[in-house]
Amino acid sequence: MDLLPLIVAVPLLAGFVLPLVPKRAERLADGLALLTAAVLAALSIVALRMPDCIYAIGGWNPPIGINFVLDGASKLMLLVVCVITFVITLYSPAYMVRFTGKRKFYALFFLMVAGMNGVVLTGDMFNLFVFIEIASIASYALVGFGCQKEELEASFRYLVLGSVASSMILLGIALLYAKMGTVNMAHLSDKIAAAGGLGGAGPTTPEGKASALLIFATVLFICGLGLKAALVPFHAWLPDAHPSAPTPISAMLSGLLIKTVGVYALARVLFSVIGITPVVSNVLMILGALSMVVGVFVAIGQWDFKRLLAYHSISQMGYIVLAIGLATPLGVVAGLFHLVNHAIFKPLLFLTAGSVEYRTGTRQLDQMGGLNKKMPVTGTTSFIASMSIAGVPPFNGFFSKLLIIIACFQAGRYGFAIAAVVVSILTLASFTKVQKYAFFGPLKQKWGRITEVPATMAAAMALLAVLCLASSALMLKGPREFLLGNAQRSLTERQEYVERVLGNKHAGGDESLKSF
């Protein structure tokens, strides 16, 4: 029970201690970073085996204090965040040697991880905002870490849009507080349900008109968190910011940050707090489908390897939001499944792009060619990841896309299902281009002397490639129920969430403190 706060506290400690490491002892910084990431991964696996619970910080029971909620969805997200963080940390030491200030890099990196873990665990709206900001501010700084022209420009653009989004989120929270007089998620949820919710013909609201303030707050949340998640009308910052960052950060941003701070927070707020209605669900699906289609069409024309991947991130986020927006049990399961898969293959793709850049110094696809001969590990893992994202059968992407399409059909949304199929084909086309130009074909004269990347980088990529295959096992009934089914239930069963938090039995809570 006591381990839960450590999931946020451990990366914070790393963030505070790493800048104190002397400048000459960079090896020590590498070691500490790896140790922290390993501890985090272990903690997330321990958390997976813990029963669902809530943790009252400082012993103050909800709705008064801040509380952490450990349920199916947060367990799944913690596992994804911590394991992928570990793999990316493994990749970082060798890659980051050409940047100065590695210790500062690690410090910001772990602050970002702490923010993401906090977003996943927290059960308090204002605390959610604070953790979103911790993760976001660290990521603004990390995008501009290299301090070159493009990086600074992307960082500034990301910062401006990101802080506007944060202000929208905070305004939404303020409106909820004005209306309901609380910021605890479960308490809010309870009060909103009692007040009739968003209205319409939703399952939780048989009747009653929605309050204008509540609708306004919902719109603000969708805009603000949609901006953080880079859904299509709000996506302008992503294709600049993600490629500009150092590769491990590109992988973190595309693989984890937009999911935890964007999609997970959005799903938590809409499903658990405000309560989903057909209108909101339609909005989510349309945003998702738009992102899916626009992202892939722009991606096809790209020649910059990392930029192409960034546009595919938008497209794949579209899949996730479309599926979660269906709001059916199968839809949410499929969305979460695709979220897990995307968190595996997109970092892998970015890491391979980074490896190619590490050796050749270019990100232009038409400058590469035949790299398979010189960089077999990078080539093979990149091939596996490309097939995963394109949805080719033995790999994980196929199964989650299949589930999404089935869920669309089941919900009677044939148009979206067809769009999903078409986008998948276009994705395949786009990655065929990547493979053809970068890794297959004749080797260019100037790349005659390059070699495979250092062992730790190769190991990280191999690990992710194995995960690409292994996570297909989530299609089997047992693992699917254990990881995805529980996560889906904890999101869609709003009443259960409220009871879990506001019920009487709490770990860490203490009756004697009520007298204060």
Q: Is 219 in the site for another protein (CB under 8 A)?
A: no
The least distance separating another protein from the CB of residue 350, rounded to whole angstroms, comes to: 18
Part in contact with another protein (CB under 8 A); list of ranges 27-35, 46-54, 158-166, 365-373: 158-166
The span from the CA of 152 to the CA of 156, in Å, is 6
Part in contact with another protein (CB under 8 A); list of ranges 36-44, 236-244, 264-272, 483-491: 236-244
Part in contact with another protein (CB under 8 A); list of ranges 133-141, 190-198, 253-261, 353-361: 133-141
Part in contact with another protein (CB under 8 A); list of ranges 161-169, 201-209, 365-373, 445-453: 161-169
What character string, x for contact with another protein (CB under 8 A) and - otherwise, covers 25-64?
------------------------------xxxxx-----
What character string, x for contact with another protein (CB under 8 A) and - otherwise, covers 111-130?
---------------x--xx
The least distance separating another protein from the CB of residue 461, rounded to whole angstroms, comes to: 27
Nearer to another protein, 143 or 474 (CB): 143
Site for another protein (CB under 8 A): which residue of 13, 193, 219, 283? 13
Q: Is 69 in the site for another protein (CB under 8 A)?
A: no
The least distance separating another protein from the CB of residue 436, rounded to whole angstroms, comes to: 24
User: Residue 101: left if φ>0, alpha if ψ -120 to 50, beta else—which one?
Assistant: left
**3-state class of 245 per DSSP?**
coil
User: Residue 441: left if φ>0, alpha if ψ -120 to 50, beta else—which one?
Assistant: left
Q: Which two tokens stand for residue 294?
A: 């626009």
The least distance separating another protein from the CB of residue 187, rounded to whole angstroms, comes to: 13
Q: Is 428 in the site for another protein (CB under 8 A)?
A: no
Part in contact with another protein (CB under 8 A); list of ranges 168-176, 251-259, 377-385, 439-447: 168-176
Give ∠ CA 135-146-314 in degrees, rounded to 5: 55
Q: What are phi and psi of 411, to 5 degrees?
A: -85, 0
Give the rounded distance of the alpha carbon of 209 from its chain centre: 34
Q: Which two tokens stand for residue 153?
A: 């420009």
The span from the CA of 203 to the CA of 352, in Å, is 45
User: Residue 442: left if φ>0, alpha if ψ -120 to 50, beta else—which one?
Assistant: beta
What character string, x for contact with another protein (CB under 8 A) and - otherwise, covers 94-113?
------x-------------
211-224 residues labelled b (16+ CB within 10 A) or e (exposed):
beebbebbebbbbb
Cβ neighbours, 10 Å, residue 148: 11
Residue type for position 189: S
Nearer to another protein, 14 or 267 (CB): 14
Part in contact with another protein (CB under 8 A); list of ranges 172-180, 275-283, 366-374, 442-450: 172-180
β strands within 287-343, DSSP E: none
User: Residue 454: left if φ>0, alpha if ψ -120 to 50, beta else—which one?
Assistant: beta
The least distance separating another protein from the CB of residue 144, rounded to whole angstroms, comes to: 6
Query: How many residues can be counted in the chain?
Result: 516
Q: Is 19 in the site for another protein (CB under 8 A)?
A: yes
The least distance separating another protein from the CB of residue 149, rounded to whole angstroms, comes to: 5
H or E segment at 55? strand 53-56
User: Residue 182: left if φ>0, alpha if ψ -120 to 50, beta else—which one?
Assistant: beta
Site for another protein, residues 135 to 154, rule: CB under 8 A: 137, 140-141, 144, 147-150, 152-154
Part in contact with another protein (CB under 8 A); list of ranges 162-170, 357-365, 385-393, 469-477: 162-170
Q: Is 81 in the site for another protein (CB under 8 A)?
A: no
Site for another protein (CB under 8 A): which residue of 25, 27, 42, 167? 167
Q: Is 366 in the site for another protein (CB under 8 A)?
A: no
Closest Cα partner for 243 from 292, 293, 299, 287? 299
Nearer to another protein, 111 or 384 (CB): 111
477-514 residues labelled b (16+ CB within 10 A) or e (exposed):
eeebeebbbbbbbbbbbbeebbebbbeeebbbbeeeee
Site for another protein, residues 191 to 210, rule: CB under 8 A: none
Site for another protein (CB under 8 A): which residue of 174, 193, 279, 450? 174
Site for another protein, residues 247 to 306, rule: CB under 8 A: none
Please enumerate in sequence order all residues whose Cβ is within 8 A of that of 424, keeping only pairs 6 or more positions apart, or say none. 390, 391, 401
Cis peptide before 206 (omega within 30 of 0): no
Q: Is 159 in the site for another protein (CB under 8 A)?
A: yes
Q: What are phi and psi of 335, to 5 degrees?
A: -60, -45
Q: Is 177 in the site for another protein (CB under 8 A)?
A: yes
Rg value, the chain, Cα: 22
Binding site for another protein (CB under 8 A): 1-2, 5-6, 9, 12-13, 15-17, 19-20, 55-59, 100, 126, 129-130, 133, 137, 140-141, 144, 147-150, 152-157, 159-160, 163-164, 166-167, 170-171, 174, 177-178, 183, 236, 239-240, 244, 508, 510
